[in-house]
Structure 1
Amino acid sequence: MTTLTETAELSPEWLATRVLSLIEDETEIDPTENLVLYGLDSISVMTLSSELKQRGIEASFDELAREPTLNAWWALIAARR
């Protein structure tokens, strides 16, 4: 069961920080740029999908992989909160 705290802490900043930790890069990410260009791989996308599901947000690997940008991912998360 997802608690309100788990979904409440989701934010664009959380997403950007989480993606940075997945790609293990210290660079600033352009929210409109394809995250694959920063080194994001399919395992990381699967990991994020699983973490979002644990927080009550259904976002499949296919949905995330379709448009791998911070802006697109946040729009998907925000729409499903």
Structure 2
Amino acid sequence: MTIAETSDLGAEWLAKRVQRLIEDDCEIDPTENLVLYGLDSIAVMTLSAELKQRGIEASFEELAREPTLDAWSALIAARR
């Protein structure tokens, strides 16, 4: 994994990726629980696997503990 590939994993990338996972075009409040937007456990597992492929270890449990864009952005930033 190159630095350029991991630097692409910012808040903007995450918001766009979650938008595709929930299949909705509404604007997401970064502090709101993503389950309220229709995010399900399969989507969380998918995101966890994608992050792992990009060199970021974030387990399903860690992501499910606080499913908000802000929390996930902080987790990803801490793991880079």
Under a length normalisation based on structure 1, what TM-score does the superposition of the two structures give? 0.96
Instruction: Give 1:20's aligned residue.
Output: 19
Unaligned runs of 5+ in 1: none
Instruction: Give 2:48's aligned residue.
Output: 49
Instruction: Give 2:10's aligned residue.
Output: 11
Unaligned runs of 5+ in 2: none
Query: 3-state DSSP class of the match of 2:39?
Result: coil
Instruction: Give 2:30's aligned residue.
Output: 31
Query: 3-state DSSP class of the match of 2:57?
Result: coil
- TM-superposed CA distance for 1:3, in Å, is 2.2
Runs of 4+ residues over 6 Å off in structure 1: none
- TM-superposed CA distance for 1:36, in Å, is 0.2
Aligned CA RMSD, in angstroms, stands at: 0.6
Q: Using the alignment, how far apart are the partners of 2:61 and 2:28 within structure 1?
A: 22
Aligned residue type for 2:35: V
- TM-superposed CA distance for 1:10, in Å, is 1.1
Aligned residue type for 2:30: P
Aligned residue type for 1:68: P
- The total of aligned residue pairs comes to 80
Name the % identity: 79
Q: Using the alignment, how far apart are the partners of 1:4 and 1:11 within structure 2?
A: 12
Query: 3-state DSSP class of the match of 2:31?
Result: coil
Under a length normalisation based on structure 2, what TM-score does the superposition of the two structures give? 0.97
Aligned residue type for 1:12: A
Aligned residue type for 1:58: E
